[in-house]
Chain A
Amino acid sequence: MLEVQGLEVAHGDVRALDGVSLTVGAGEIVALLGPNGAGKSTLLLTIAGLLRPRAGRVTWDGEDLRRVSPHLVVERGLAMVPEGRRLFGSMTVEENLALGAFAPRARAARERSLERVYALFPALRERRRQVVRSLSGGQQQMVAVGRAMMTNPRLLMLDEPSLGIAPRLVDAILDSLVDINRGGVAVFLVEQNVRAALALAHRAYVLEQGRIAAHGPAADLLEDPHVRQAYLGPFGR
């Protein structure tokens, strides 16, 4: 479904991705792990069309996405929850969610999507008239996931959804991804919370300094000596 081949991306002179290849299949949960500055956000932003690659390509159902404008990438069923949530802070929960259903295909499914989001995060229904800025970090993350789900995607990409959120709510967010996946949506999850991500994912990639350093089934990576040492501590904490 999603295929990334030999992707090279630079921020000015800083090379962030150096030949990255990976795939995410229909219905899969795939995790992308890696330390700060590895290029994880750069990868997601490039897939979404907000950054343009220097070399390599991104294909979606066989279509080259390099020339597709970001809002049309969304229209093709590829949604993203950006790092730091990036909500419209002066608007209410419901206005943010409604904007997720802006594009024609999403608008047609709007009522159903809204019910699905409220079923996923009942707390949002109670707060739907509240201005987003007044919510806690965890609740805001729910809005961010909800807004992306309102686009009615077939693949949901998330950039560190657990960042800066109370531990109790991290579980709620990550659990929701399993529900979303059961509904037939593939999930591509960037996380630094390695243990939680590997518990959730079917497969995972490890990105280090712009290259894929390891990949395989999540269970195998949990046993991988390099992964254990670098990301799970010497005793597999």
Chain B
Amino acid sequence: MTVLAQQLVLGLLIGSLYGLAAAGLSLVFGVLKVLNVAHGELIMLGGYGAFWAVALLGMDPFAALALVVPAALVLGAVLFLGLFGFVMRADEETRIKNSLLIGFGLALALHALAVQLWTADERSIPTPYGGAVITVAGLSLPVVRLLTLALAFALIGALHLLLAHWRWGQAIRAAAEDWQAALLTGIDVRRAYLLAFAMGTALAGAAGTLVTIGYSISPSIGLEWTLKALIVVVLAGLGSMLGTFTGGLALGVAEAVSAAAFGGPYREVVGLVIFVVVLLVRPRGLFGR
């Protein structure tokens, strides 16, 4: 019983990062109608950014967020202006096709870059509080992972508030719902797209940082994280960041349960099964609007 409970808790902890990873993908997909298949590589890049901040600058791993997130924001703006912005002129179908091509190209390039800069080895960031564990009711809770969960939740909350109350957050939601109507109300829709893409990339950077702290990264984790994020987006649907976060937690728990029930290798299968089942039963996702 405690074994299962322990697995569930660990599932929740990793699930919070699935949710954070998915939030950026969901924002970009929901607003620009562009599926950025390089999202996982952006997470990977964020992870290495944090790795550098700690290794080269001697920063506290969590404080690295304060560096990685703004840097990722700028990177996102550059990627939009240099790559993804061009597809936005096309109609929706061409846009999706072209953005897939750009995304795959970008993913390959970033992967190659990461191997050059950091080698193909797996890395993680050692933290001063390292292996500290809190024990509650017989469950051991690693402090570092508890902190990653708390930070992931805080970031999602901040994003939610920005989209709900910030002027440009409302403009982003308006552009997501009907870009032509948004133009007719005087919103610079291209700028709303730029902001949404930059914010999506910043979220990827944050997710990467937390993944590197609580878990580990290597240049090849991109595809895996893109897939996790995509599963969560399908599971949760578009339109609600809190829904996306909940979807991430659900995926983490589902993986933990299936690993406990059928053994470790099935951990990766359950997400894909959920993916297919949700698409068949509820194509707009559990929380989709």
- Measuring CB to CB, which residues of chain A are less than 8 angstroms from any residue of chain B? 48-50, 69-71, 74-75, 79-80, 82, 86-91, 95, 98-100, 102-103, 106, 147-148, 150-151
Contacts and interface: CB of A to CB of B under 8 A. Distances in A.
B174 interface: yes
A151 B177 contact: no
- The secondary-structure label for the interface of chain B is helix
Contact of A99 (B180, B187, B239): B187
A102 B171 contact: yes
A106 B178 contact: no
Given A74-B186, A100-B186, A103-B186, A50 B170 contact: no
B184 interface: yes
A102 B173 contact: no
A88 B177 CA distance: 6
Given A86-B180, A99-B171, A102-B171, A151 B289 contact: no
Contacts of B183: 49-50, 69-71, 74
Nearest to A152: B186
Interface residues of B, number: 19
A71 B178 contact: no
Contacts of A88: 173-174, 177-178, 181
Nearest to A153: B186
Given A86-B180, A91-B173, A102 B239 contact: no
B181 A71 contact: no
A13 B184 CA distance: 26
Nearest to B289: A90
A82 B167 CA distance: 23
Given A90-B289, A99-B171, A74 B177 contact: no
A74 B186 CA distance: 5
A98 B166 CA distance: 12
Given A88-B173, A88-B174, A95-B170, A102 B180 contact: no
Contacts of B184: 48, 50, 70, 74, 79-80, 82, 86, 148
Given A90-B239, A95-B170, A100 B185 contact: yes
